[in-house]
Amino acid sequence: MLELEQAVEKILAALPAPKSEVVALADAHDRVAAEKIHAAADLPPFDNSAVDGYAVRSQDVTTASAEKPITLQFAGRVAAGENFTGKLSAGQCIRIFSGSPVPAGADAIVMQEDTRVLPTDEASANMPSAGTTSLPPVGWGRAGVRAGAQGEIQILDSAKPWENIRFHGEDVKRGAVIVEPGTRLGAAHIGLLAATGARQVSVNRRPTVALLATGSELIEPASGRTLAPGQIYESNRAALTPQIAATGAIPKIYPIVPDTAEATRAALARAFAECDIVITCGGVSVGEMDFVKSSFEELGGKLDFWKVAIKPGRPFVFGRVPGKSSQNKTRASLPDAGTTSPSPPRSGGLELLGKQRKESAEGGGPGGAERAGASESLGRGEVVLRAQGENPLDVGCSMLDVRCSEVQGEKFLFGLPGNPISAFVTFLLLARPALLRWQGATNVSLPTSRGILAEPISNPDHRRHFVRVIVDASGQVHSAGTQASHILSSLASANGLVDLSPKTTHAQGTTVQVLRWE
């Protein structure tokens, strides 16, 4: 059985080189940069004031204090966005605002709070104006006197050279590398790119990820149906959809697949025809009702490995379907409503034939057509699988979605175990890195934090156990409760996983690394 690290290595090694596309900056959040991004402009683009106040020559105010103010002549005003053409001379000051360009001759800004406007009888219209504006100065000094008609400003504090000035290019120099390839663009990257004038960015394509749940016992909660004996509500697709989306990949949710070979083959065929990556939940164990592996192989898929030495989640399977470019001879069958004409040929990795339409339309097993729900024509030769009580491909997936059928390359199967915790944890540990690396992301690790065990935790098992824990605000780590792989409530209260080696106990007070998720 593979160790987790070996499994991840095999998966990452199998993935294709990312393909890039150019997108508007507004669409670049959470996308992975395809190449180095250079700053298109200096940031800040000019020397400017960090505060509202008065631009001065620092040498004029070296001795200024509240007790011994220095009085400067008001020489104009420069607002943010204005281009100030005048020059500050000795003994003068210029009203300035945060973001305003620093006038020539000034080398410091005194904060407004450290100034006082001296009222005069003279109207501001008579005052010298060094700026582009003819408006009188407006503002409030420390004494609260309105500076609407004055010619003199008292400076109540000294200013060092370059105090409160933000320098041209001090943040970023034009041409500097501001984003490395493989970086996932977060909100701050987007802000930086915008500030340096970027309009578009070259990012890597995102995979479309089919999400399938197998199990004849599963009922779609959105159907509103009450559970018959033996049935349960399907929950893995709901839990994994946001996880897939959080990687930047595009989730496409498929109807529940009943436990028959035919329905599983048909669902896999369709998902592989439409998407880059297929994630299934359930049906990868050893039981005779587990059809994912066999169906995948019947469709021409190759299993790279099955089983990873972790708990929860041992029966995880990874496989691939060769791309069309590699002379794929695989033929998959597509279910049909019987009356529907065969689907048009697709450009995806699997060539779809109408061979097994009849079987599929009949539902192919216990429960029959009603159980499988058979299929439904959408016109144009397209068929949608409909599981009992479900809307056809009701979560944004359409057979007509060209994004899916454009794809030519190798495709990948991640067969997660069906138990909700096993599915969740194997997604985080094995599928998530792949979805990120498919997009060219350099960092595919889960975020981690360190914490101190508030209670002992142990793993008596011979398999590595990823234990659900709660990290509290003070960094104390508590068990999240029962750890069995069907206990969803402890996963819901957990905010992390601790990786516990086989046959290991960690005492209270031990510092542990906690794997987190988004």
Kindly tell me which residue out of 419, 426, 439, 479 binds ligand AMP, with binding defined by CB under 6 A: 419
E strands, 365-407, in order: 375-379, 382-385
312 contact choice in Mg ion, ligand AMP, none (CB below 5 to 8 Å, kind-dependent): none
Kindly tell me which residue out of 72, 111, 218, 308 binds ligand AMP, with binding defined by CB under 6 A: 218
Kindly tell me which residue out of 157, 217, 304, 351 binds ligand AMP, with binding defined by CB under 6 A: 217
As measured in angstroms, the least distance from the Cβ of 306 to ligand AMP is 13
Contact 27, 199 (CB under 8 A): no
**Dist. CA 466–CA 43, nearest whole Å:** 45
State yes or no: residue 213 binds ligand AMP (CB under 6 A): yes
231 contact choice in Mg ion, ligand AMP, none (CB below 5 to 8 Å, kind-dependent): none
As measured in angstroms, the least distance from the Cβ of 368 to ligand AMP is 20
As measured in angstroms, the least distance from the Cβ of 257 to ligand AMP is 10
**Dist. CA 390–CA 233, nearest whole Å:** 12
State yes or no: residue 282 binds Mg ion (CB under 5 A): yes
Nearer to ligand AMP among residue 124 and residue 236 (C-beta): 236
Nearer to Mg ion among residue 18 and residue 283 (C-beta): 283
Centroid of chain to Cα 464: 28
419 contact choice in ligand AMP, Mg ion, none (CB below 5 to 8 Å, kind-dependent): ligand AMP
State yes or no: residue 258 binds Mg ion (CB under 5 A): no
User: Tokens 């495709």 belong to which residue?
Assistant: 411
Kindly tell me which residue out of 49, 129, 236, 340 binds ligand AMP, with binding defined by CB under 6 A: 236
State yes or no: residue 283 binds ligand AMP (CB under 6 A): yes
- List, in order, residues 6 or more apart from 502 with CB less than 8 Å away: 459, 461, 462, 463, 464, 465
User: In sequence order, what DSSP letters do the residues of 157-198 get, joined into one string?
Assistant: S---TTTTEEPTTSSB-TT-EEE-TT-B--HHHHHHHHHTT-
E strands, 364-460, in order: 375-379, 382-385, 411-416, 448-453, 457-459
Q: Which stretch binds ligand AMP (CB under 6 A): 219-227, 317-325, 416-424, 449-457?
A: 416-424
Contact 313, 416 (CB under 8 A): yes
Give the residue ranges of DSSP H helices in 1-98: 4-14
Contact 279, 427 (CB under 8 A): yes
Q: Which stretch binds ligand AMP (CB under 6 A): 18-26, 212-220, 260-268, 359-367?
A: 212-220
By the criterion CB under 5 A, which residues form the site for Mg ion? 215, 282-283, 418
By the criterion CB under 6 A, which residues form the site for ligand AMP? 213, 215, 217-218, 232, 234-236, 281-283, 285, 417-420
